[in-house]
Structure 1
Amino acid sequence: MRPNQLSIFLTVPGLTLASSLLFKGGTIIAFDNQTESLQVIRNGSVLVTDDRIETVAGPGAPIHITNGTEVVDITGKILAPGQVNTHFHGWQTAFKTLGSNTSLVEYFSRYGEFAAAGLLSPEDVYVGQLAGILESVNGGVTTVLDHAHHTWSNATAEAGLQASVDSGVRVFWAYAFHNITTITPNFLVPEQLANFRDLASNASFRGSATEIGIAYDSFGPSPNVAEVNAIISLAEEFKVPVITTHSLQGPWGIDNSPEDLLNLGIINSTIPFVLSHASFLTASGAQLLRTFNHYVSITPESESHYGHTHPHSHLIQDQAAIGVDTHFTFSSDILTQTRLWLQATRRRLYGEVLERWQVPDNNPMSVNQAFLMATRHGGLALRRSDLGIIAPGAKADLVVWNARDSPSMLGWNDPVAAIVLHASVGDVEAVLVDGKWQKKGGRLVAEGYYTAFRERFLASAARIQNKLIQTSSEFPRVGDVWPASGLPIGDTLTVDTLRGNGTGYGGTFLVVDGAQ
């Protein structure tokens, strides 16, 4: 990868590696590898050396530290593992609030990878990707699996990768292979294979927290076998850490299912597959995931917002982690997604008892299970047992929750419940990735650089949003056929918030001097 004039964070002083850090006096949400369960340690300590957790200790346990060790008092606070986002599209930040009422049908025609091709310059991709990742780490996310489908040219691909590197966050940047024919010149998979090889062969990003993976959405139902084989061969050659795909079966017809991977003879790959959404996953598909140890990324808010739904995802939670998806339409933090998933699952399973005219006796899902899906399961989806946990030898990806001063967490006893059910992203006081401070004292460590970067991003977003607002887009409507599955497009009931004939759906805005 060539030196990139877009880069701004490569020499931020706050991102230098701390050789030794001791977190002392707080409540630690650790992980016991022997019992595979969470372990709460009160008045505990965690020693970080370089990029790893060296020691996790209870009260009074001796810890050897050097004279240069930075001691961080976290008395009354909670030290937790960083959250893992297993599905994200960082580059879309500039679209924020434009898709608040959009459907998936409209998304593909207006905001998706093919519709947006030609709309964003490399600079736009860079600042959008960086803004999205910084927004995530601000909320306690330390690892992101980014389905990077901004690969419309060599330049836009490089810009997104460079932004990921510059963020300092642990990003699995998954290069998307897709035939882009909506712009001139076209950018096709053969050219993308060469571009990937160029990026992956260049060592300039090595030593950062970013790794290059692969994203591909044409494994089924009717794959181009030669194209699939070329991509898989490249993945094996470069030993990529992950392959990810959108999987929406059922009426959506965008299968990329476990059965498709089996038919192609690639499901037994040593490379982990992460199937985003896995809507309408079959029972046989679930068994294939378990047999070959591949994971689903459940994105609760996205699947509700767009209508993917998740009818069987609660049955595959042993092979599932949590993701965000299109953060320009809703939350970018994993905390919100985890809470939504926990309560939606509870509601569904309570409902099954109530439908039988019985009264539920027990709560069907615990906060510990939700917490593990947001942290450790994300690491397992990437086959990284050193991510998403606090344990000796694990990566030093840590979050300090200010449970001492937060009004919403005041009075907590169970630290897991305090985070999952009561905290907000505003309670994230500090974040470490690879032993490096990314947020400290409630502020991003790149704050001094953030002001200048923010102006770059706002200029980019204003141009993109104005163009989109002024551009009408045609997309399939009721009575048309959904091309991926050949099924008819139907209409949903629109709920009413006003009496009479109106619905109040769109709301009204009074615009004064250009402000809403």
Structure 2
Amino acid sequence: MKTTLVDFTAAHDSDRPILLTGGAVVTMDPSIPDLDAGDVLLVGPQIIAIGADLRSDPGHGAAAASALVVDTRGAIVGPGFVDTHRHAWEAQLRRSIPDVSDLGEYVMSTLAGVAPNYAPEDMYIGTRLAALTALDSGITTMLDFSHNSRTSAHSDAALNALIDTGIRGVHASMGPHFGEWDRQWPKHMNRLVSDFHGAADGLVTVRLAALATDEIAGPAIAYGPELAAFASDLGVWTSIDAVFGIPSSEAILRWARMGILDPTLTLIHATGLTPEAWTAMGDAGVTVSLAPTSDAQIGLESAVPAVDEALAVGIRPGLSIDV
């Protein structure tokens, strides 16, 4: 009899073991080889064992025998994907991005035109839709670069949407680019961290978000010594968007001289950067989030994802959906 989602949910909620069996297992763990066909044993939120035939395994046979069996033959069983940068509140605007021809048009149509009209409930709907469609696509971890925090209620709505979907979510909070807002950011992040960092049994965490330079929206939301100190005092990491071209390259070298280019930073896009900037990034141990689809859609610099540049300085880049 085929296992249903209702069966799976009931087993998960009761901590009954669940045995995924027969699929090609990709472990992403150098100590555990991939299997052409194998088993993965789950209990609650934990992976208990991986093996070729766990029902005959002395250590896990009893649990496997009592488990709900899910036939995964013909499928690939592996860890969920990680989306390292998505503006989740924009999810209900899908299909609109092909109507813009470059970054300037996106900024004006979405960030200047639509974003100021968002209410907290719109933030909730967009963020929850983004998280649900991420899960449906095999993405189990998503960083929400939430750059429409017009009020504390907007931020709370976005965070509650992550909690309500059950995704492993990182809320990276930034003030809006344009329009009226409460100017509560970044100070309100003290409360966000207190109320939400580690929520949903540790699945939801909080980060600071900023832009690389003041070109797009002015200095208030551009990364620099003040925001670096704020994030450090708060004990959170920082995601920095719109990192591209010569101005961002110069900013990266400036951060390095100031001592605020470090492993707590994730730099997003990273297209068209100079070799000197890449060297500084590698030396500092930053992480990088590439956005191949949006870079091509709106023509950021060369629009070629900087995979080779990152690997050359010892950075293994992440991938992101963006918008």
Partner of 2:187: 194
Deviation at 1:218, TM superposition (A): 4.5
Q: Counterpart of 1:76 in 2: which secondary structure?
A: coil
Work out whether 1:265 is the aligned partner of 2:262: no
Work out whether 1:285 is the aligned partner of 2:277: yes
The 1:91/1:256 distance shift into structure 2, 3 A limit, reads farther
Partner of 1:316: 310
Work out whether 1:47 is the aligned partner of 2:41: yes
The structure that has the greater radius of gyration is 1
| Structure with the larger RCO, 1 or 2 (CA within 8 Å, 6+ apart) | 1
Quick one: distance in 1 between partners of 2:308 and 2:239?
20
Deviation at 1:52, TM superposition (A): 2.6
Q: Counterpart of 1:100 in 2: which secondary structure?
A: helix
Deviation at 1:311, TM superposition (A): 6.6
The 1:98/1:224 distance shift into structure 2, 3 A limit, reads closer
Quick one: distance in 1 between partners of 2:135 and 2:145?
17
8 Å CA contact 1:246–1:256 kept in 2: the answer is: no
Quick one: distance in 2 between partners of 1:127 and 1:147?
15
Please state which structure has a larger fraction of its residues in helix.
2
Quick one: distance in 2 between partners of 1:182 and 1:322?
30
Partner of 1:250: 245
Q: Counterpart of 2:173 in 1: which secondary structure?
A: strand
Partner of 1:182: 179
Work out whether 1:109 is the aligned partner of 2:108: yes
Partner of 1:56: 50
Give the partner amino acid of 2:142. V
1:12-411, aligned counterparts within 5 Å?
17=13, 19=15, 20-34=17-31, 39-59=33-53, 62=57, 63-66=60-63, 69-102=67-100, 103-112=102-111, 114-177=112-175, 182-183=179-180, 186-188=181-183, 191-202=184-195, 205-207=199-201, 209-218=203-212, 228-240=224-236, 242-250=237-245, 253=247, 258-269=252-263, 271=264, 273-308=265-300, 309-310=303-304, 312-317=306-311, 318-326=315-323
Say what the alpha-carbon RMSD is for the aligned residues. Answer: 3.0
8 Å CA contact 1:220–1:260 kept in 2: the answer is: no
Quick one: distance in 1 between partners of 2:280 and 2:79?
29
Give the partner amino acid of 1:170. R
Deviation at 1:18, TM superposition (A): 5.5
Structure 2 unpaired stretches of 5+: 1-8
Give the partner amino acid of 1:278. A
Quick one: distance in 1 between partners of 2:146 and 2:233?
20
8 Å CA contact 1:44–1:59 kept in 2: the answer is: yes
Count how many residue pairs are aligned between Structure 1 and Structure 2: 301
Quick one: distance in 1 between partners of 2:149 and 2:298?
23
TM-score (norm 1): 0.53
Quick one: distance in 2 between partners of 1:164 and 1:92?
14
Quick one: distance in 1 between partners of 2:117 and 2:48?
47
Superimposed CA distance per residue, residues 384-430 of structure 1 (whole angstroms, 9 cap, x where no aligned partner): xxxxxxxxxxxxxxxxxxxxxxxxxxxxxxxxxxxxxxxxxxxxxxx
8 Å CA contact 2:249–2:273 kept in 1: the answer is: no
Q: Counterpart of 1:118 in 2: which secondary structure?
A: helix
Q: Please, which moves more after superposition, 296-305 or 20-29?
A: 20-29
Quick one: distance in 2 between partners of 1:194 and 1:312?
34
Quick one: percent identity of the two aligned structures?
22
Give the partner amino acid of 2:109. R
Structure 1 unpaired stretches of 5+: 1-12, 327-516
